[in-house]
Structure 1
Amino acid sequence: MTAVLPARPSVAERRTAPSLSAAVRDLDRRRARSRQRMIGASELGECRRRAAYRVARRRPTNTRTGLQAFLGTELHRGVLRTLRRQYGGLTEVGLQGEQVKGRCDWWHDRVVEDLKTTSRFGFERVLTRGVPVKHWFQVAVYAWLLRTGQTHDRRLAAGTAQDVEGLRIRYLSRDSGEDVVFETDHDPALAAEAVLWLTDVYATVEDEGVDAVPRDGFGPGVDTMCDWCPFLDLCWGPPVDPVTEGDVSRQSRLTVDHGDYVEAVHDYDAWRSAENEAKRHKEYARERLRGRSGPADDLFCEWSGGGLRTQVDKDAAVERLAELGEVVPTRRIRSPQTIRVTRNGSRPERVEGAA
């Protein structure tokens, strides 16, 4: 019997570049954060259902990591290394209490700092909307753990309280390299609010179970907190199968009976009205600001754009192609689905005995 040997790989196959995406996925699976079971300080104030899954020690169902997130993590490390070398202090300080753990990015001169690397859209959102409460929760809890000696770092004596006076959050745009810093004094009430948020999650899980803890996200495709959640499939169910379920969404699985349907329709109508009213107010304020700019207490107003630019005249291009006898390039795309919610015509009740 003659043995059949596998074909030797070609030179091109031997020279094929290793997959960076595969390397990132493997590295993320082996990282402690991917295997984390205790709630991390960065999750406080975000989604109570996600925190509940941590409390109940449920296994994550979605642990993929994109290259963009990987690059952000590596940039994060490099920036912290630069800050430490230039100004001193301690970076990535391990902290752990009975219910929460985390790593303080930078502790320097009695100030706790957390660094957030973000896209230009995220950076712009912070500039316009300010710091989300959940981010203040995070640094406040770091400060509380340090002040109470709940450290898990060989560079600090366990059980020894540290002196923390200030909180700082630094946002760094991965696209432009710009950064903006927000600072405040240490506020014990802020840390207490964060711990209370977490305590409420623990109590609900113990008394009523994980499913009784409400979601704070609106589901995949609507909320990015859900899109990147490690418990996405556990929370919202597996991806929709168009063959067996048809053209539905994961959120539509919550609409079980007619009462659910009526509630959703009325929700849509209410938020549509609020959206239209908010747009009117915004446009009115915009017109009042035409020609004006500068500081306004804690805000700053400025205008940009308005210059002339050249763009393709699509109608003229189609006409020109037709004149030349050329076939106009086309492609088939699916039109967006639209929804229309209208008022039913009110009808008077029938009076007994009326014709």
Structure 2
Amino acid sequence: MSALEPQGMAPATGGLPVEAIPVLRKGLERAAARAFKAANRDNQARRGDRMWKLSMSDLGGCTREAAYKLADVPPTDPELAYDTEARQALIGTWIHEKYLPYFAAELADGEVEMPVKLTVPLFDPATGEFTGTQVVDGTTDLYTSVMGGGVVDLKTLGAYLLGGVEHDDVREEHRHQVRGYATALRQWGMPVAWVAWLYMDRANGEVALHIEPFTEDSEHATEERVRYLVGLAAAPDAAPRGHRGPGLSWVCDGCAWLKACFGPDAEPGDSSALQVHTAPEIAFAAEKYAELRAQIGALEKDRDMYGAMVGRPKPGDYGDMVITYGRDSEQVDKEAAVEMLTLLGAEIPMRPRRGNRNIRYRPGHTSKE
């Protein structure tokens, strides 16, 4: 049944009654959310059982998830991979499908969505004897023969995050993935002299490009990465986690191995699965929290100072920096709303609030277990 059922014909001239708009809004919002879930389910269903096998994108993804896949650990939460809305990933997929063919048409021999297969020989760590091979499947975004041959990978970003990418180096997880494509293509005998990452802002389509030479060292690094992941599969529960956990990472919230990784009570969006319980663990986490809180406080003061120095100049380029402004908008004036409700004699909605947690150093004091 759809979120909104026909309610009969509206009066010819009257339009929708104003009091019905909240009902319509809620129905449309639910339909929009369900549409994302349905699109994600279709997208994942096309992948079939390949979802649970190591792919090229896993080379730079969560190492524990990669270990689970290599060890053939059954997913504990397969429905999360299907049913999560996955809006960021889906929008990125739709941009890939529409944009890449036009981009490829501008390049010599540009080919999109090329299936590749990486084959890595494995050796016994103790004896050095050959023990078999590991095959990793993947699909390149774009291959071109331009300037000796190259692989271009499109990465879409959230609104206004492009500046950070322009300033920083390529993320290592993206480097592992794209080097995997390039290594596989070389194994096929195709020339690859360079790899590139095209980062695109989903909000406005602006792009930033990173290009690196692809060398024999790059190939060796790819093979060593695969061997490292294969080694972790011997004890997948001990493999390093690649993300911060449910409630703190949308990747974890949609992971098919959420409970295997964080325990049987782990749920999407609930960070309580990360809570530790022994006194040494609590002491360690509290000390790290206090250290980071102090660093953040100092950084925020510096940020505010430099922000005041920048002010609000005209939009444009300033050296290597670009300054733009979003649209002006309105926000709820909470103080005015409370004052109005008070004047009207209406009850002010309240909700419970837990007492603030206070973490501080107390040298020389040791707690008991």
Q: TM-score, normalised by structure 2?
A: 0.70
Shift of 1:38: 3.4
Q: Distance in 2 between matches of 1:141 and 1:284?
A: 43
Deviates most, 171-180 or 325-334: 325-334
Shift of 1:169: 1.1
1:52 to 55, 67, 82: 67
Q: For residue 105 of structure 1, what is the aligned residue in structure 2?
A: 141
Q: For residue 254 of structure 2, what is the aligned residue in structure 1?
A: 228
Deviations 1:203-255 (A, max 9, x none): 2333xx112212132211223332333322221124458xxxxx980001xx2
Q: Pairwise mapping of residues 300-315 of structure 1 onto structure 2 (< 5 A)?
A: 300-303=320-323, 315=335
Q: Distance in 1 between matches of 2:151 and 2:271?
A: 46
Shift of 1:257: 2.4
2:197 to 144, 169, 173: 169
Aligned length: 309
2:250 counterpart letter in structure 1: T
1:268 counterpart letter in structure 2: Y
Shift of 1:102: 1.1
Q: For residue 93 of structure 1, what is the aligned residue in structure 2?
A: 114
Find the residue that maps to 2:360 and give its secondary structure. coil
Deviations 1:257-314 (A, max 9, x none): 222222222222232233334445555666777799733xxxx234556999987765
Find the residue that maps to 1:250 and give its secondary structure. helix
Q: Distance in 1 between matches of 2:35 and 2:329?
A: 39
Find the residue that maps to 1:39 and give its secondary structure. coil
1:196 to 224, 228, 234: 224
Q: For residue 210 of structure 2, what is the aligned residue in structure 1?
A: 182
Q: For residue 143 of structure 1, what is the aligned residue in structure 2?
A: 182
Q: Distance in 1 between matches of 2:360 and 2:336?
A: 39
1:30 to 45, 49, 54: 45
Task: Indicate yes or no: 2:357 matched with 1:339.
Answer: yes
Q: Pairwise mapping of residues 261-272 of structure 1 onto structure 2 (< 5 A)?
A: 261-272=282-293
Q: Aligned in 2, Cα 1:146/1:29: closer, same or farther, shift over 3 Å?
A: closer
Q: Distance in 1 between matches of 2:45 and 2:327?
A: 51
Which 5+ residue runs of structure 2 have no aligned equivalent?
8-26, 120-133
Of structures 1 and 2, the larger Rg is shown by: 1
CA RMSD between the two structures: 3.7
CA contact 1:119–1:175 (8 Å) conserved in 2: yes
Shift of 1:44: 2.0
Q: Aligned in 2, Cα 1:91/1:279: closer, same or farther, shift over 3 Å?
A: same
Q: Distance in 1 between matches of 2:199 and 2:349?
A: 41
Q: Aligned in 2, Cα 1:143/1:327: closer, same or farther, shift over 3 Å?
A: same
Question: Identity rate of aligned residues, in percent?
Answer: 24
Find the residue that maps to 2:66 and give its secondary structure. helix
Find the residue that maps to 1:59 and give its secondary structure. coil
Q: Pairwise mapping of residues 177-326 of structure 1 onto structure 2 (< 5 A)?
A: 177-206=205-234, 209-239=235-265, 249-252=272-275, 255-280=276-301, 282=303, 294-295=318-319, 300-303=320-323, 315=335, 319=339, 325-326=343-344
Find the residue that maps to 2:116 and give its secondary structure. strand
Q: Distance in 2 between matches of 1:95 and 1:337?
A: 55
Which 5+ residue runs of structure 1 have no aligned equivalent?
1-10, 150-160, 242-246, 348-355
Q: Distance in 1 between matches of 2:363 and 2:171?
A: 43
Q: Distance in 1 between matches of 2:215 and 2:153?
A: 16
Deviates most, 32-41 or 137-146: 32-41
Find the residue that maps to 1:145 and give its secondary structure. helix
Q: Aligned in 2, Cα 1:221/1:163: closer, same or farther, shift over 3 Å?
A: same
Find the residue that maps to 1:197 and give its secondary structure. helix
Deviates most, 332-341 or 68-77: 332-341
Deviates most, 19-28 or 216-225: 19-28
CA contact 2:157–2:201 (8 Å) conserved in 1: yes
Q: TM-score, normalised by structure 1?
A: 0.72
Q: Distance in 1 between matches of 2:6 and 2:326?
A: 52
Q: Aligned in 2, Cα 1:104/1:25: closer, same or farther, shift over 3 Å?
A: closer
1:140 counterpart letter in structure 2: R
1:294 counterpart letter in structure 2: Y
Q: Distance in 2 between matches of 1:210 and 1:318?
A: 53
Q: Aligned in 2, Cα 1:260/1:111: closer, same or farther, shift over 3 Å?
A: same
